[in-house]
Structure 1
Amino acid sequence: MTRATDRFLVSETSVLPMSEPGGSDRSLRRELCWTRVVCITFTLMCTAVCALVFAQLLPGCKGTGHGNKENGSEAPHRDTQIGARCEDFGLDEAGSAEPHPAFLKIDCRSLSASAQYFLIWERMKFGSFNLSEKNDTLIFPSDGMYRISLQVTYRGTDQVPSAMKNILQHHLFVYSDSYQTERTILSAFETVYYDSSTWRKSLYSEGIFKFHKGDTLKVQTSDLRLIDCDGNPGTKTFLTVHLHGAAPVSCV
């Protein structure tokens, strides 16, 4: 009985085929190879994206002074032209976003030579701005939006006949080649009442306007004899101009 059972068990037993030697190793190596390829590709893509973002954040106005070579030929004037454009906006070659403002102080010594009641300014360093030969006209260096701030201080004087009231006023005139005529862009008025010549009054006005390169700005007042020239007149009557906001052209 025992032998029959053994024969039955032997007949029912099947031998499983053995897997080919080295097959699982090749499959594992193939998976590792694909994993490495995917990791390297992802790393290269991340590096390229980071390099592109970093290049966009670099300041545009380098001013290195070296010419670029394109197609085997050198372009020595490109950086010079970039520096010139940045200079037009009062920017330095490092790409500083803060322009150099113009601060004009009244020149009381020359007011008597002024025609049509235009204010005369002291000739100083105005960044990229310039003054006309008569020192009564400010010349804009470039296109852009500019903030204009003006203060004029008046006072009573024996040179002007005494009256119960006086209307003080000043106007800012702009001349542009695009209009071929002077335009008033800003005015200020004030009526003062007094019974003696010992009075003072300051008028302040401000605005943001668009100017083109070469445009000129003048300030006209109602009576130059009423301008307060006592003490330090530059702290009482002055004009400031600076570029407002971002520069309208890119220095790149």
Structure 2
Amino acid sequence: MEHGKEDVASKEYAVLMEHDPVSRLKTQHRSLRRQMCLIQFMTVFLCISCCLFTLMYQPYASSCKENEIKKAPEIGMQRQAPESDSREDITLGQSPTRFTRLTIKQKPGVSGAGNVTWILKSPEPDHKEYFTLDNDCESLKVHRDGTYKVSLQITYRGLEGYIGDGEQSQHGILHHEIHHYTDSYPRVPPLLTYMETVNFKSPYWKKTLFSEGIFSLNTGDRLKVWSSHLILIDVGEKVEQKTFFVAYPHFFS
């Protein structure tokens, strides 16, 4: 009998030993769930707090910005007020751009290729500070180092019976360039080049070729315009609107 009681007691102990790990796992699981719930609660609480803080701070922030916007012009006006008269005087007293505008000088009987001759058209006051037209009426001389904008427009027109100098086909090429004479280069480099194909056998045509660019020029440099067909340059009415050579300062350091 005693032996049987011992067997029963050992079995109960074994059963208790088997259920103990399960209870521990349940306890750990419950503990983890409580921790997760606590973390979720804290997260939700922080989110709600941030939203409430944003809603409460937004009206205050907008009012601060409005105050800054209102104050800024007042400060600016106070600073500009003493100088308003002088600034207006400076704005009104600015002189127009000092440009040099040349138009073609008519030379009857000139044909073939060569340099275009010019006359000065409506010079601005003190225009000689930057450019002058030499006595040969071909060279535009630079009087000050700087960066200049140079524009050239030449209008050509057809002539009855003209087929070009030594050109066998009915099509020819109108070609003109601005040549840059300077001590900085041993040769004469072209600043601008323009070419256009036309039908010389038809007298009923006109071509206006316009080009411009910005260039660095030095004191003493000279600019000349060379054309392949001087005889075809239109020198009729309003010639100053058809053919012109313009230069003016673009930038100075």
SS at the partner of 1:182? coil
Q: How much does 1:235 deviate?
A: 1.1
CA distance in 2, matches of 1:185, 1:111: 28
Matches within 5 A, 1:121-200: 121-124=118-121, 125=123, 127-128=127-128, 129-158=131-160, 160-161=162-163, 164-193=170-199, 195-200=201-206
Bigger helix share:
2
Is there any run of 5+ residues in structure 1 with no aligned partner, and where? Answer: 1-49, 60-93
- Answer yes or no: is the 8 Å Cα contact 1:119–1:221 preserved in 2: yes
Matches within 5 A, 1:6-85: none
Q: How much does 1:116 deviate?
A: 5.3
Q: Deviations over 1:173-204 (max 9, x none)?
A: 01112224311111001112365211110111
Aligned length: 156
Larger Rg: 2
TM-score, normalised with respect to structure 1: 0.55
Is there any run of 5+ residues in structure 2 with no aligned partner, and where? Answer: 1-78, 88-92
SS at the partner of 2:245? strand
Identity %: 33
Comparing 226-235 and 190-199, the one that deviates more? 190-199
Among 117, 122, 125, the alignment partner of 1:120 is 117
Q: 1:159 to 1:235 in 2, by over 3 A?
A: farther
Which residue does the alignment assign to 2:228? 222
| Equivalent position amino acid for 2:103 in 1 | K
Across the aligned residues of Structure 1 and Structure 2, the Cα RMSD in angstroms comes to 2.8
Which residue does the alignment assign to 1:70? none
Runs of 4+ that moved beyond 6 A: none
Q: 1:238 to 1:111 in 2, by over 3 A?
A: farther
